[in-house]
Amino acid sequence: MAPLARLKTIFLSLVHPWLFMAYSLYYLPGTVLRLIRQGDFATLSSWPRLQSAWFSAFWAWAGPRVRQNAEPRVIPLLEGRVQGGRQVQSPAHPPVSGIVAEVGPGSGMWVDLFRRRDGGAGPAESVERVYGIEPNVGVHTELRKRIKDSGSEGVYEIVPVGIESLADSSKWAGKIEKESVDCIVSILCLCSIPEPEKNIKELYGYLKKGGRWYVYEHVKIDRFPGMRLYQALINLIWPLIIGGCRLDRRTGRMLVEAGPWENIDLEQPDVQWYHSLPHVYGILTK
Ligand SMILES: C[S@@+](CC[C@H](N)C(=O)[O-])C[C@H]1O[C@@H](n2cnc3c(N)ncnc32)[C@H](O)[C@@H]1O
């Protein structure tokens, strides 16, 4: 890469988290005004509810942009065309199929990939059922719309609780049996769940033997001390502004330690020092 282009890449990568937070902040006054106009003082007086409403408004804007950036990684991932943190031509793993649990689908940016019938990009094998485990009701209208638009009604079911409440019949009328899920898909969401170590282990329990976990998550920086400090600095305010998302999670390690795996193909593809949001990427097979 030419020196000037490289400098630009480094600069953009370093300022990206601040820009992302600035865009999110832009949606706060509008959210508050809307809630006042609607007389929704219950949401206004509860920080978690206000934060969820704010995040929903922000993600309606950010979601499609995040999808555009992440698509070159996520589509091959769901097709099983990933090995050692890189996209490969022929599948190295089976594609997403059978009974699927999508953790934190948000506004449904990836919903269409579970029901490709038009020869477009996405898993070729059939998906029987998808449970979209999404506690933020503020995004459900958009999620429902994307389910309808992708022709996934009757296949894609919204589970309106957090993964920590999956087995709690007082919070959700349905039930997912342990060891009944063929595939778990987690895309940029394990950064937001509570008690990640405990809940990732809990999710592992829902996978069948031979089931697969498709992962694309941003994680804590472990190398590069200066960047570790920079990320820690951003993380002081990031969770407040980005809907409770945390930058300081060792999600890769937590996944590997969730239980015994038959195969672990999980890597960090963002090896350059200047990534403030490096990712783990790959497929684990139980
Ligand atoms: C950054 S968004 C990503 C949404 C989507 N995966 C995407 O790529 O567009 C994180 C999502 O995780 C959801 N989330 C937060 N806590 C959760 C929990 N306890 N269980 C499941 N999902 C959760 C949030 O509501 C949010 O929709």
**2: helix, coil or strand?**
coil
Asked whether 232 and 196 are in contact (CB, 8 A), the reply is no
- Burial-class residue 236 by CB neighbours within 10 Å (0-12, 13-18, 19+): exposed
- Which residue, judged by its Cα, is nearest atom 24 of ligand 1? 104
Pick the more confident residue, 88 or 119.
88
Kindly indicate the confidence band of residue 123, based on its pLDDT and cuts at 50, 70 and 90. low
Amino acid present at 227: M
Pocket of ligand 1 contains residue 196 by CB under 6 Å: no
Closest atom of ligand 1 to 245 CA is 1
Residue 81 C-alpha from the chain's centroid: 19
Domains and their CATH numbers in the chain? 73-285 (3.40.50.150)
* Among the ranges given (32-46, 113-127, 133-147, 264-278), the one the predictor scored with the smallest mean pLDDT: 113-127
Kindly indicate the confidence band of residue 102, based on its pLDDT and cuts at 50, 70 and 90. very high
State in Å: Cα 163 to ligand 1 middle.
Answer: 10
Asked whether 168 and 88 are in contact (CB, 8 A), the reply is no
Site to probe by mutation for ligand 1, drawn from 56, 192, 249 as the one with most ligand atoms within 8 Å of Cβ, is 192
Q: What Rg, from alpha-carbon coordinates, does the chain have?
A: 19
Closest atom of ligand 1 to 139 CA is 27
* Among the ranges given (70-74, 115-119, 264-268), the one the predictor scored with the smallest mean pLDDT: 115-119
Kindly indicate the confidence band of residue 118, based on its pLDDT and cuts at 50, 70 and 90. low
Q: How far is CA 166 from CA 59, 60, 70, 238, in A?
A: 24, 25, 27, 27
φ, ψ for residue 246, nearest 5 deg: -120, 145
What is the dihedral sign for C-alpha 179, 210, 109, 67? positive
Report the alpha-carbon distance of residue 269 to residue 278 in Å, rounded: 8
Dig out the tokens for 81 from the structure: 């065309």
Pocket of ligand 1 contains residue 108 by CB under 6 Å: no
Kindly indicate the confidence band of residue 117, based on its pLDDT and cuts at 50, 70 and 90. low
Residue 133 C-alpha from the chain's centroid: 11
State in Å: Cα 108 to ligand 1 middle.
Answer: 10
Site to probe by mutation for ligand 1, drawn from 188, 189, 219 as the one with most ligand atoms within 8 Å of Cβ, is 189
**Helices marked H in 40-156 — which ranges?**
41-44, 47-78, 140-149
Pocket of ligand 1 contains residue 134 by CB under 6 Å: yes
Tell me the average pLDDT of the chain: 94
- Which residue, judged by its Cα, is nearest atom 23 of ligand 1? 104
pLDDT in tens, 136-176: 999 999 999 999 999 899 899 999 999 999 999 899 988 89
